[in-house]
Chain A
Amino acid sequence: MAVAESMVASEKGSSNGSSGPVLAAKGLRKVYGHVQALRGVDLELFPGEVHALVGDNGAGKSTLLRILAGATEPDGGELSLHGQPVRLDSPLRARELGIETVYQDLALANDRSCSANVYIGRELRRAGPLGRLGFLDRRRMNETTRQRFAELSIPITQVERPVRLLSGGQRQGVAIARAAIWAKHVLLLDEPTAALGVRQRHAVAELIERLRELRLSVVLISHDIPEVLKLADRVTVLRLGQRVATRDCEEVDTSWVIHAMVEEPLDE
């Protein structure tokens, strides 16, 4: 929670915030056989900023996201959290450090309730000896989930219903909300709107706005450049495993981004 105070002290998280980055990567390299997925990528993520990662297929977006999520270990380079060097050698380690990830497959157990999915692997147990035997406190899990969903403006009140009965947009909402509820610092979103209709995209955009208000830092992968420029504060363009540019979204437009994705370097 000491961290939260420092976050409150920082400015709105655009490029030149007064405090240092929450999460910083320096010179990340990753090789798969003969393929150099990342060739020395830097990334700085500031408190409360929504940071988009864009690039053509094979540019290294997913590899970078997986490294930040602890799902892939880099072959070289450094990561630091609040200025302290960290090693993210497993997804669990990343989660312990307050970094949560929503992959495209959402990783929801469709037969279980929303609250069971929120608390997967971190179930609340009852007080007393029954709790030590592993008895669950479903009532408290349901109540807390309902409350957190309300805070995030997730329009699902029947949190004890199985995820299977929800629409695609609602499932996306549950997956992002779960990550947001547990993330202390950073939320990584892999194509959060790819499979959604217009109305549901709008709901996800509002949810991301809520995350910004909660001063979580969000990394967002998307193929939809105009949408990205609306949602994000800054955008980093990757090409062939290298960072081409990082810009404030207000400074650039779609054609600039697409140009940066496919043409020669524009700066740096």
Chain B
Amino acid sequence: MNRPGEPQLMQPEQPTGTEPPIDDLPSDDSARNGRRLLRGAVRSSAFWILIALVVEILTFSLLLPSGTFLSTFNAQTIAADSAVLLILATGATFVIISGGLDLSIGSVMTLAAVVAALVMRDVGGSDATAILVGVAAGVGVATAWGCINGLLVAIVNVPPFIVTLGSLGAALGVARLLSSGTSVDGTPGPLASDVGQGLVLGIPVPFLIGAGVMLIFGIVLHQTRFGEHTYMIGSNDEAARRGGVHVKRHLVALYAMSGALAGLAGMVDLARFDSASVATGHTTELLAAIAAVVIGGASLFGGVGVMAGTAVGVFIPVVLANGLLIGGIERFWQEVIIGLILVTAVAFDQWRRAQELKGR
């Protein structure tokens, strides 16, 4: 590809706006413009999801005993609880916008936590060294795992759903083999005390990590060429390919990134609970992360989505789990409700796309 620069077009003679528009969009006076803005807002799922979140918070505030749901302590709890999901959903946003899907993130998160915990326990030296080496090992394994997912999707052309469904099972199996099927404890003290339970200006450190990751990757998604190519591939991969985008390379990078972020989520989880559990494979987190992305406005067809929508979307399941817990309702209801939310969100996306086609 040649120079980055202005497209070359000789002879810039200028008939600006003198031609009558043959087929142009309706020009707008301000009233119509306002109405269109409103219509756009009502159609965007970010608007609805924000309302849903507010309703959710209001409901819990009214129903639950005062001083329980609405309290600084509970706000900190919700923030800390959101950390893992913020990180997982960041990766899922990229993958889903590219038209793909990564179902393995919960398992990869588990695998990374087990590897990190084992390395931290067995490596000598100071706590800091053990933590750094363990984190590097955990995130490294997760990145490599994601890379394999990406190669299978991009080079071998196995559908992402199947690749990551298979690797969901495989990663959890490997994690259980490594841990002999039980949780791995004995991580260095500072990991939990400084990171997992740490507060900076009253804000939980896990939340700062999660929010920081989402912010940085949100900027990457919306401001950089990497992000633009992610949208292009999701919207029309053939167009991206003909335009000179290295589609295969980009897909491998996306799945590797998704794996790396799952690894990081595993580190945050390990820090918070001081133990790597292999019991569940974090399927609830997987579902919640994908639900967060879809209710945040991303389309499973690819090409559409915004990181800010995902950010709001993350708090729907987190606040829900929190409210149910305080209300003393069986926590398994959370899984039922998240499942319902996910299906509803996808149905809404279908409906919205159909409306948009009709309304054109």
Binding site for B on A (CB under 8 A): 1, 4, 91-92, 95-96, 105, 107-112, 116-118, 120-125, 133-136, 144, 147-148, 150-151, 153, 155-158, 161, 164-167, 169-170, 180-182, 184, 199-200, 202-203, 213-215
Contact = CB atoms under 8 A, between A and B. Distances in A.
Nearest to B244: A121
Interface residues of B, number: 44
Contact of B15 (A122, A123, A136, A150): A150
Contacts of B240: 109, 120-121
B14 interface: yes
Given A96-B2, A120-B239, A151 B9 contact: yes
B215 to A, nearest CB: 15
Contacts of B13: 151
B8 A182 contact: yes
B9 A153 contact: no
A112 B303 contact: yes
B236 A181 contact: no
Nearest to B6: A144
Contacts of A147: 12
Given A121-B240, A125-B4, A151 B12 contact: yes
Contacts, number: 131
B231 interface: yes
B7 A181 contact: yes
Interface of B: 1-2, 4-17, 19-25, 223-226, 228, 231-232, 234-236, 238-240, 242-245, 303-304, 356, 360
A199 B23 CA distance: 9
Contact of A122 (B1, B24, B231): B1
B232 A200 contact: no
Contact of A110 (B10, B11, B225, B236): B236
B23 A170 contact: yes
Contacts of A105: 238
A209 to B, nearest CB: 13
A91 B356 contact: no
A116 B7 contact: no
Contact of A167 (B16, B20, B23): B23
A123 B228 contact: yes
Contact of A112 (B5, B12, B20, B235): B235
A167 B9 CA distance: 25
Contacts of B20: 155
A120 B243 contact: yes
Contacts of A213: 11
Given A111-B303, A169-B23, A124 B235 contact: no
B18 to A, nearest CB: 9
Given A109-B239, A109-B303, A161-B25, A121 B245 contact: yes
